[in-house]
Structure 1
Amino acid sequence: MAENFQPLSVGELKDSYDVVIIGSGGTGLAAAIQANELGMKVAVLEKEEELGGNTNRASSGMNAAETNVQLKHGVIDNVADFYHETYKDGGRLNDKDMLGYFVYHTAPAVDWLADHDIKLDDITVTGGMSKKRTHRPASMAPIGGFLVKSLLGVVAKENIPVFNNTKVTKLRQAADGRINGVEVKSGDLTKKVDAKAVILATGGFGASKEYIERFRPDLKDYKTTNQPGATGDGLKLAENVGAELMQMNLVQVHPTVQQDHPHVYLIGEAVRGEGAILVNAQGERFVNELNTRKIVSNAITALPEHSAYLIFDQGIRDRAKAIEFYDKTGLVVHGDTIEDLAQNLNMDSATLKATVNTWNQAVENHDDEQFHRTTGMDRGITKPGFFAIHIAPAIHYTMGGIHITPKTQVLDGNGDIIKGLFAAGEVAGGLHGNNRVGGNSIAETIVFGRQAGQQVTLYARGLK
């Protein structure tokens, strides 16, 4: 995703920085840019060859409320609604202070990106939200790759050093318990680096068999949408210095994942947000497609086949550019007509035709009598050609993680702050409750990445 950016090798790593940031996804890059612009000398360390982590795989967008972009699209929003919907969708298990900080800092985060010439000028909707809050580039490109590439452009311009193939093996602690550096390993080389503060931006544990088996053994055979590096390394580093982990059993299964190939492909929520429906093997709808991920996933798992089909037309395809990639990869079944599509899916064509007709009527009347869907109804399924993608739920996101304050300070088991250690993004728990809303994780990377960058600066300035 970051094809033109050249990371540095560990040989160029200096002995000392103000701030060491572990992880090069959206959170780590946002933290690095923010801290650097506040005068901190920073280094970003990434254990993988490829930069960007799971952020590369994000496809829908970045949620934010009361933005100028929304107003340009005629959407009048309210931050309080954003708060209450996210709280309800999270089973009211969200950390209220974190959630409050989050929703009120999403619009400034969109502005901050725009100040760096990273513009999210289009909007769509994701499950569990009543308004179009999901910001994305005007090209409608998947948000993740766009964001990583754009943030790395800023990093290059500001000469922020980023090191790949560099794994942090240990957080170093002073005699008084504060974190004052890291130990890293790259190939045969190991090195100690001093730092006034360390930010963990290492992502979740969605690809860790060990953590999934420890906290959610019922999911151990599920496939994952996560990149292979999402193994919970930051959690291990934090646990080893006494940090508390919270809500680790709260693991999100994403409803729409293509799993018929060796590589697993997440089909972004924007496809449903732009109007796609879900049908079972008989060609019938069975759920409000834009209910929370938890409810939609459970409905699919309850079907005899434990899988379903996304159905959409050319009009929806034009509004969700990621479909071009899915099609090139061979994930999309085509039909000239709905009947044609049904035959290619070995479905009864009369049933699928009736389902689509009923849905188109619901869109026209703004009334989904069957499943009471109220969003993602801007267009019906009427414009040839017609398409389907076979999907099933897979492990997607880990809501639990390191216990932090809204200032991204890491807490130990007694609720005391571990000085010099900060964490943000998916590695931290608490923000999302028991269900993360689509579009909130990218917003979290920027909002709390920036917050971590600001808080480490305040902390480092306070050190004599």
Structure 2
Amino acid sequence: MSILPAAEARFAAETEVLVVGGGACGLTAALSAQDAGAVPLVLERDPAPSGSTALSSGFVPAAATRFQAAQGIADSAAGFAADIMAKAHGEADPALVDAVAGESGPALEWLADRHGLEWQVLDDFLYPGHSAHRMHAVPERSGAGLIGRLARSAGAAGVDLVCDAHVTGLFADGDGLVHGVRLQRPDGGVEDLACRALILACNGYGGDPALVRRHVPELADALYFGHRGNTGDALRWGEALGGEGADLSAAQGHGSVALPHGILITWALMMAGGIQVNGAGKRFSNEHQGYSEQAIDVLRQPGGQAWCIYDARLHELGMGFPDYRDAMAQGAVRSGADPAALAAATGLPEAALSAAIAETAANGPDRFGRDMAATLPLAPPFHAIRVTGALFHTQGGLRIDRQARVLRRGSDAPLPNLLAGGGAARGVSGRQISGYLSGNGLLTAVSLGRIAGRTAAALTAGERGRP
């Protein structure tokens, strides 16, 4: 990836707001820019929009929405911001936290009212760190469903989306003003495209093993469950233009990806009463601490593997999620009428497995700090899935302000026309893997996407209509 001299460009066309990346952040940014009066264009390197959004659960946390109110859920942006800061150990940028928490509810209502997205609030269980039920999902309850609806909404709104367009460089001058981009087609063809504002929505660096090992060594050997195109382009471009990265040691992990099937198993199973055991049949952590940091605990077990153990009640809960149904169809779920039968089905030691299941009947905190009285004891018949820990996406990125403008290195002054959102920007998880609050990835994708679109439209407003 490179920064190219503006004088070398051979621009074939120009657009007002150019968006690099067609995931949730990029599509939201484009819709926002267009609604604010600008003309956006989205460049997506793949044959169709997908990105890490399609690989995610698709759940977007948002506060004080009418969808929550309709289900009798009381919440506030201030309460959401407090939850984010608490999970991030106070390390996140408070101004950015307030901005994304405050934008979260209005953004989902805008997507519903203006662009037809349907939202439902998951109220069967609380995700770790959240003080209110605020996970919003489209009816499909999947990341693929979310990106599909956003793409259809963008098409219906007339947003131009060019796929198979891999941006390989930016044209800029010495002050960091971006003039356009160079993109490459699958056949090797190269095109230069001019713009007046550029939004980086091409995620972080989870797909670059060297950068992961440098910044997030705890997950360097984890299964990478994000998009292979997330190779740190936005970070490199921003730094080359005079910006800087922040909180680069933060990431979202997950302690429950089915082996060898590579299917995300909903953490709802753990939050509603399930447990994890290692190959010796023993529990090794507090399963309610958060699925991001659980990835590290799973990877520390022999072979970097564990088993999710749960019962028929939780199996029915899981069947409400498409990924779990896929895991079931592919034979990932093992079953047994009692601990002995489950031990036979999994190869786990019967005595240790029986003892681990019996721990769920405890009346209070256990040795790991999990309050077993908060959930029902596991009861036969039982089910199990073999899983590993995975890296989903990085949470560090370019330092930005409340308007999603990329800031100059060592300064609060923004670069002239460069913006970033989602995984391309600094997140709100602080500096640690344990700082990730469930849904932070899609929170910043949607909230910062809407903010960046508005800001880009405002930046280009004075030039609108210029020949």
* TM bucket, shorter chain: 0.7 to 0.9
- The CA RMSD measured in Å over matched residues stands at 2.6
Secondary structure in 1 matching 2:223 = coil
8 Å CA contact 1:60, 1:268 repeated in 2? no
List runs of 5+ in structure 1 lacking aligned partners: 1-12
Give the aligned partner of residue 93 of structure 2.
95
Secondary structure in 2 matching 1:105 = helix
Give the aligned partner of residue 314 of structure 1.
312
TM-score by length of 2: 0.87
8 Å CA contact 2:365, 2:373 repeated in 1? no
Give the aligned partner of residue 352 of structure 1.
353
Q: Is 1:135–2:136 an aligned residue pair?
A: yes
TM-score by length of 1: 0.87
Give the aligned partner of residue 297 of structure 2.
299
8 Å CA contact 2:365, 2:372 repeated in 1? no
8 Å CA contact 1:31, 1:449 repeated in 2? yes
Distance 1:308 1:197 in 2: 47
Q: How does 1:48-127 map to 2 (within 5 A)?
A: 48-59=46-57, 61-115=59-113, 116-123=115-122, 124-127=125-128
- Shift in Å, 1:15: 0.5
Secondary structure in 2 matching 1:230 = coil
8 Å CA contact 1:63, 1:135 repeated in 2? yes
Cα 1:371–1:340 shift into 2, 3 Å: same
Q: How many residues align?
A: 443
Alpha-carbon displacement from aligned partner over 1:20-55 (angstroms, at most 9, x marks no partner): 100011000000111112221111101122412000
Cα 1:162–1:294 shift into 2, 3 Å: closer
Secondary structure in 2 matching 1:48 = coil
Q: Is 1:406–2:402 an aligned residue pair?
A: yes
Distance 2:339 2:422 in 1: 42
Give the aligned partner of residue 5 of structure 1.
none
- Shift in Å, 1:344: 0.9
Mean Cα deviation higher: 175-184 or 195-204? 175-184
Distance 1:452 1:394 in 2: 29
Give the aligned partner of residue 457 of structure 2.
457
Cα 1:376–1:58 shift into 2, 3 Å: farther
Cα 1:175–1:251 shift into 2, 3 Å: closer
- Shift in Å, 1:148: 0.3
Distance 2:249 2:294 in 1: 19
- Shift in Å, 1:456: 0.5
Secondary structure in 2 matching 1:32 = helix
Give the aligned partner of residue 391 of structure 2.
395
- Shift in Å, 1:354: 4.2
8 Å CA contact 1:125, 1:375 repeated in 2? no
Alpha-carbon displacement from aligned partner over 1:223-258 (angstroms, at most 9, x marks no partner): 211121111122222233222122223334322223
8 Å CA contact 1:273, 1:375 repeated in 2? no
Match of 1:425 among 422, 426, 431: 422
Secondary structure in 2 matching 1:197 = strand
- Shift in Å, 1:420: 0.9
8 Å CA contact 2:202, 2:423 repeated in 1? yes
Q: Is 1:28–2:8 an aligned residue pair?
A: no
- Shift in Å, 1:259: 4.1
Q: Is 1:227–2:224 an aligned residue pair?
A: no
Distance 2:461 2:373 in 1: 47
Give the aligned partner of residue 162 of structure 1.
161
Give the aligned partner of residue 340 of structure 2.
339
One-letter code aligned to 1:299:
D
8 Å CA contact 2:38, 2:461 repeated in 1? no
Q: Is 1:152–2:151 an aligned residue pair?
A: yes
Cα 1:329–1:112 shift into 2, 3 Å: farther
Cα 1:159–1:463 shift into 2, 3 Å: closer
Cα 1:137–1:349 shift into 2, 3 Å: farther
8 Å CA contact 2:251, 2:436 repeated in 1? no
Cα 1:117–1:377 shift into 2, 3 Å: farther
Cα 1:223–1:163 shift into 2, 3 Å: same
Cα 1:146–1:275 shift into 2, 3 Å: farther
Give the aligned partner of residue 183 of structure 1.
182
Question: Structure 1 vs Structure 2: percent identity of aligned residues?
Answer: 27
8 Å CA contact 1:171, 1:241 repeated in 2? no
Alpha-carbon displacement from aligned partner over 1:385-436 (angstroms, at most 9, x marks no partner): x321112222222111111112110112132311111000011114221222
8 Å CA contact 1:326, 1:332 repeated in 2? yes
Cα 1:135–1:271 shift into 2, 3 Å: farther
Give the aligned partner of residue 196 of structure 2.
196
Cα 1:137–1:265 shift into 2, 3 Å: same
Give the aligned partner of residue 4 of structure 1.
none
One-letter code aligned to 2:120:
D
- Shift in Å, 1:184: 1.4
Secondary structure in 2 matching 1:260 = coil
Give the aligned partner of residue 330 of structure 1.
331
Alpha-carbon displacement from aligned partner over 1:284-309 (angstroms, at most 9, x marks no partner): 33322121345423433443454221
Distance 1:137 1:357 in 2: 37
Alpha-carbon displacement from aligned partner over 1:179-199 (angstroms, at most 9, x marks no partner): 122121113221221111010
Give the aligned partner of residue 3 of structure 1.
none
- Shift in Å, 1:107: 1.6
One-letter code aligned to 2:180:
G
Alpha-carbon displacement from aligned partner over 1:301-325 (angstroms, at most 9, x marks no partner): 4434542211123332333312101
- Shift in Å, 1:357: 4.1
Match of 1:382 among 379, 383, 387: 379
8 Å CA contact 2:243, 2:398 repeated in 1? yes
Alpha-carbon displacement from aligned partner over 1:300-356 (angstroms, at most 9, x marks no partner): 344345422111233323333121012223322233444322221122334434433
Give the aligned partner of residue 212 of structure 1.
212
